[in-house]
Amino acid sequence: MPHGHCYFWEKDILIPIVIGDLLTFLSYMTIPILLWKFVKNREDLRFGVVFKAFAAFIFFCGIGHLIDVINIWEPYYRVSAIAKMCTGLVSLGTVLMLFKLYPKALKLPSVSRLDNINDELKRKNKELVELNEMYDDTMKAVRLGYWHLDVESNELYWSDVVYDIHEMERGCNVDVASALNFYHPDHREVISELVTNAIQNSEPFDVQLKIITASQNELWVRAIGKAELKDGKPVKLKGLFQDIDDLKRKEEQLTQNESALKEAEDLAQLGNWRWSFDRQERYWSDGRFKILGYEPGEIEPSLQVALDSVHPEDRERVEGTIKQAIEKDEDYELSYRIINQSNEVRIVKDKGVFVNLPHTKGQYYAGIVMDITDESLKEQKLQESLKALERSNRELQDFAYVASHDLQEPLRVITSYLQLIEMSYGHLLDDEGKLFIESIIKASARMKTLINDLLVLSRLETKQRDAVPVDLNKVINVVKEDLSLKIIDSNAEIKHPELPVVYGDEGRMRRLFQNFIGNSIKFRRPDVDPKIEIEWSDVGEKYQFKIKDNGIGIKEEYFERIFTIFQRLHTREEYEGTGIGLAICKKIVGKHDSTIRVESEYGKGSSFIFELNKSKG
């Protein structure tokens, strides 16, 4: 019996039931289709099977509603039973699946957690961008770029830095041939072979070569390349490219410096060494080996080898000094003899400096060893000649002293007898005879002065005098008295301020000022009255004096010569004298560790400048 009977075929019951069931059927048919499509289009969807099972369950529910409508008029209850059974089974399957998936589904992130993940992702992304920028900056800073070449298409890629190194506009087109052309003509063949070899035999390369940039600058670069293989075949060549010009030039400079150092070591017969306490570092330069007569690197450098080469007579002293220096972390300097590999005795100077580096453990000694054999021999010879010279000088001085001293007596006898002859027999002589006697007396007087001056000079050498305070005002007064006749004769004017007290010998000070003032009067201009000024100033440890006159002056070429004994610029007829005066002055001032300087304008006057001691020291 059709199901309509149950509704008494009442239209107001049937119509809503039929319409309701049909609408439900249509909806239940649409939902599975949409679900099915959704699952198909969303590949990332998890638990797709459940969606499909749910779609099947809705489908069978829909079929159930359709059969319910049919059953109102036609009683297909068996079909209805089958449909219901299918619905039941499918729904049971769906439930089981849901049970199984439930814990997993629970773990699925909620929308808010997804938002968090999204934020995290954004942050990470930002970090990545920053990191990328940093990476770019670093690459630029170290002038390191990268490149790759597609083997098949021959397309070449350069990063920005690679363009910068080539001084090319970033991003402009470059092909392999023009890239290789940037290399220096001397290096072009090398790089071409390396690139070909990398492509053909997957042989990587890492070379330092020169390029000539677009602006014609020569640069050292490092080029690294490596093939990328696919199925055993190279598909890509990729690598790095770095500007190493600075580094290379420094390296070249270093090599040059090293060879200059080697040359200098060779020339100076010098070697240097380093020796660290932990014995990690023992370095000898080539020169150090050579001094001992070894070829560079021939033996393992060590302190023991160095000590073994020391001459047996010097060994104890050398070992003692070096060991003591090491114990106290001190520097040392020694000269000693060594016996080199050719059994030659050489003299060396060895200087070691303790180097303490504050931030490292590695304290060490560094030093130089210098072969000073030739210098030592020269020095030895020089010292010997100096001694011989001193000896002969002393002998000469002794001779001059003895000679001048012993000559005084016979000269005195000659002069006395001449005076006696003149007095007793003068009346017997004719005019010519008197003239002869007069000439002999004059010559004897000159000889007396000469002998006196010589005696003064040699006494300066032989006799040491204690330095005592000498008031120069008193000295000048005595000098003026001694020279009073000459001063009056010449109408000389002597001006000076209050003079200081100096340390020296009074007699010598007198002679010094007397010689200068005497000369100033003697070498006056014929028609000009002599004006002599004495000035002085304090120059630290000494007083400086200047004795200035308005005399005949001295030509510059004679400035040195006038201080040499017996050197005179005039004949005796022009100006009398012995030529010893300034030599005596030079000696006296020399005793005060000073020299005499002359300033003069020829024809106008001269100044003599010198220093005297302020104190005893």
Binding site for ligand ADP (CB under 6 A): 515, 519-520, 523, 549, 551-552, 554, 562, 568-570, 577-583, 606
Query: Which residue in 518, 533, 540, 542 sits closest to 591, CA to CA?
Result: 542
In the complex with ligand ADP, the residue whose CB is nearer, 161 or 457, is 457
* Distances in whole angstroms, Cα of residue 85 to Cα of each of 72, 80, 613: 20, 9, 139
In the complex with ligand ADP, the residue whose CB is nearer, 41 or 571, is 571
In the complex with ligand ADP, the residue whose CB is nearer, 25 or 516, is 516
Taking the C-alpha atoms of residue 138 and residue 130, their distance in angstroms, rounded to an integer, is: 12
CB of 529 to ligand ADP, least distance (A): 15
Q: How far apart are the first and last CA of the chain?
A: 155
CB of 467 to ligand ADP, least distance (A): 25
3-state secondary structure at position 434: helix
User: Residue 341: CB partners within 8 Å, gap ≥ 6?
Assistant: 292, 293, 294
* Distances in whole angstroms, Cα of residue 574 to Cα of each of 415, 520, 522: 25, 15, 10
In the complex with ligand ADP, the residue whose CB is nearer, 198 or 552, is 552
Place of tokens 């303490």: 356
CB of 570 to ligand ADP, least distance (A): 5
Partnered with residue 234 across adjacent β-strands are 229
CB of 473 to ligand ADP, least distance (A): 22
In the complex with ligand ADP, the residue whose CB is nearer, 504 or 577, is 577
In the complex with ligand ADP, the residue whose CB is nearer, 368 or 580, is 580
Q: Residue 432: what residue type? A: E
Phi/psi of residue 314, nearest 5 degrees? -100, -10
The dihedral region occupied by 429, where left means phi > 0, alpha psi between -120 and 50, and beta the remainder, is: beta
CB of 331 to ligand ADP, least distance (A): 52
Element (H, E) at 501: strand 501-504
CB of 536 to ligand ADP, least distance (A): 18
CB of 520 to ligand ADP, least distance (A): 5
In the complex with ligand ADP, the residue whose CB is nearer, 369 or 532, is 532
In the complex with ligand ADP, the residue whose CB is nearer, 54 or 608, is 608
CB of 531 to ligand ADP, least distance (A): 12
Taking the C-alpha atoms of residue 202 and residue 233, their distance in angstroms, rounded to an integer, is: 9
CB of 400 to ligand ADP, least distance (A): 16
The pairs formed by 49-54 with CB atoms below 8 angstroms and a separation of 24 or more are 49/97, 50/94, 50/97, 50/98, 50/101, 53/90, 53/93, 53/94, 53/97, 54/94
Taking the C-alpha atoms of residue 382 and residue 373, their distance in angstroms, rounded to an integer, is: 14
CB of 561 to ligand ADP, least distance (A): 8
In the complex with ligand ADP, the residue whose CB is nearer, 483 or 583, is 583
CB of 609 to ligand ADP, least distance (A): 13
In the complex with ligand ADP, the residue whose CB is nearer, 371 or 549, is 549
Q: Are 250 and 238 in contact (CB under 8 A)?
A: no
The dihedral region occupied by 332, where left means phi > 0, alpha psi between -120 and 50, and beta the remainder, is: beta
Element (H, E) at 371: strand 364-371
Q: Are 456 and 578 in contact (CB under 8 A)?
A: no
In the complex with ligand ADP, the residue whose CB is nearer, 32 or 581, is 581
Taking the C-alpha atoms of residue 461 and residue 451, their distance in angstroms, rounded to an integer, is: 16
